[in-house]
Amino acid sequence: MLVLGIESSCDESGVALYDTDKGLLAHSLYSQIELHAEYGGVVPELASRDHIKKITPLIKELLASQNLQLSDLDGIAYTAGPGLIGALLVGASIGRSLALGLNIPAVGVHHMEGHLLAPMLEDPQPTPPFIALLVSGGHTMLVEVKSLGNYQILGESLDDAAGEAFDKTAKLLDLGYPGGPVLAALAEKGESGVYTFPRPMTDRPGLDFSFSGLKTFTLTTWQKSAQTDQDKANIARAFQDAVVDTLFIKCKRALQQSNCNTLVIAGGVGANKQLRNKLAALDAKVSFPRLEFCTDNGAMIAYAGAMRLLAGAAEAPVIKPCPRWPIDELSAVEEVG
């Protein structure tokens, strides 16, 4: 079964072709980072308009790169939520209309399920049950993946998501947009231990997170410092050390608590080098998607959708994105080919 995946939940237009026999055939991405940079964050209306311009040409190029045509497709998967409503509407409208015109099934994919399953695009594939750490710009959660579609949230952020904390802290330090990668690069130049930040909510039981206090801590530390370039780098390092340590402590706890020995990392913050190194040292099988599949992409949507279509997912031909959509409300996938 050949499935076209379309991702348009935020500021990245992603498309991919996943063949359930041959695996991932091709994928491509257009990032809107430059478009939003001058505003210091994503402007939803600009994002929607840009998805409209970019997605159809991306699909045409993708098919041409594989000498394939629309008529070769057996199914379409598009991100139905959570995300920006206008941006989601674009992918959903294109996906649904194509499916209707081609008389093939389409499925609306949960963006976070896409992230969660992105490590399945790698070889060897992790096999459920496993614990997944989802760390993106909008979500931070620990999920027990019992089987495909059967997800139990063990803990989540009570305020800012990890990526959001990176982005907001980067803004406070005047590092520009997108904050995560820039702050991470600066942290590499910083010295560990010059400043010590709290590891929020690690001194009490449970698997929830709270990252919003760290940005205030960053601001006051910066204001009290001599404000040299090295101070900034040291503060960036202290912030990153705190986030990484906190995520490490909670992952270790989640594995122990659920008696599981496989951890999967997903979402944009999963691209963070220090986090990858630290988690790789856990006494467990730790699986990361390649860097380009940590951040938003079409491949994860094509894969998640293909698994559901293969299991016979049938949805009414209705364009109905869900900007808010709890991941534990998804239906379990019974058969996987």
Q: How far is the CB of 253 from ligand KG4 (least distance, A)?
A: 22
Which partner from the list Zn ion, ligand KG4, none does 144 bind, CB cut-off 5 to 8 Å by kind? none
Q: Which string of x and - marks every residue 283-322 that binds Zn ion (by CB under 5 A)?
A: -------------x--------------------------
> According to CB under 6 A, which one of 296, 305, 308, 333 is a site residue for ligand KG4?
296
At 119, the amino acid letter reads P
Integer Cα distance of 263 and 285 in angstroms: 6
Binding residues among 174-213 for ligand KG4 as defined by CB under 6 A? 178-181, 184
Q: Which positions ≥6 away from 204 have C-beta within 8 Å? A: none
> According to CB under 6 A, which one of 295, 300, 306, 327 is a site residue for ligand KG4?
295
Binding residues among 31-70 for ligand KG4 as defined by CB under 6 A? none
Q: How far is the CB of 168 from ligand KG4 (least distance, A)?
A: 9
Give the residue from 90, 69, 91 showing the smallest Cα distance to 79: 91
Q: How far is the CB of 136 from Zn ion (least distance, A)?
A: 4
Question: Mapping DSSP to helix (H, G, I), strand (E, B) and coil, where does residue 21 land?
Answer: coil
For the chain, state the CA radius of gyration: 20
Integer Cα distance of 232 and 240 in angstroms: 12
Q: Which string of x and - marks every residue 246-285 that binds ligand KG4 (by CB under 6 A)?
A: ---------------------xxx-xx-------------
Q: How far is the CB of 111 from Zn ion (least distance, A)?
A: 6
Question: Mapping DSSP to helix (H, G, I), strand (E, B) and coil, where does residue 155 land?
Answer: strand
Could you give phi then psi for residue 286, rounded to 5 degrees?
-115, 130
Q: Which is nearer to ligand KG4, 75 or 114 (CB)?
A: 114
Alpha helices in 130-178 (DSSP H): 162-172
The answer to whether residue 262 forms part of the interface with Zn ion (CB under 5 A) is no
Integer Cα distance of 157 and 164 in angstroms: 11
Given a contact cutoff of 8 angstroms between Cβ atoms, the answer to whether 4 and 302 are in contact is: yes
- Is there a cis peptide before residue 44, judged by omega within 30 degrees of 0? no
The answer to whether residue 169 forms part of the interface with ligand KG4 (CB under 6 A) is no
Q: How far is the CB of 296 from Zn ion (least distance, A)?
A: 4
> According to CB under 6 A, which one of 86, 128, 163, 190 is a site residue for ligand KG4?
163
Give the residue from 76, 89, 88 showing the smallest Cα distance to 315: 76
Integer Cα distance of 314 and 303 in angstroms: 16
The answer to whether residue 160 forms part of the interface with ligand KG4 (CB under 6 A) is no
Q: What is the DSSP letter of 72?
A: G
Q: How far is the CB of 191 from ligand KG4 (least distance, A)?
A: 19
Q: Which is nearer to ligand KG4, 86 or 137 (CB)?
A: 137
Residues that bind ligand KG4 (CB under 6 A): 10, 115, 136-138, 163-164, 166-167, 178-181, 184, 267-269, 271-272, 295-296
Residues that bind Zn ion (CB under 5 A): 136, 296
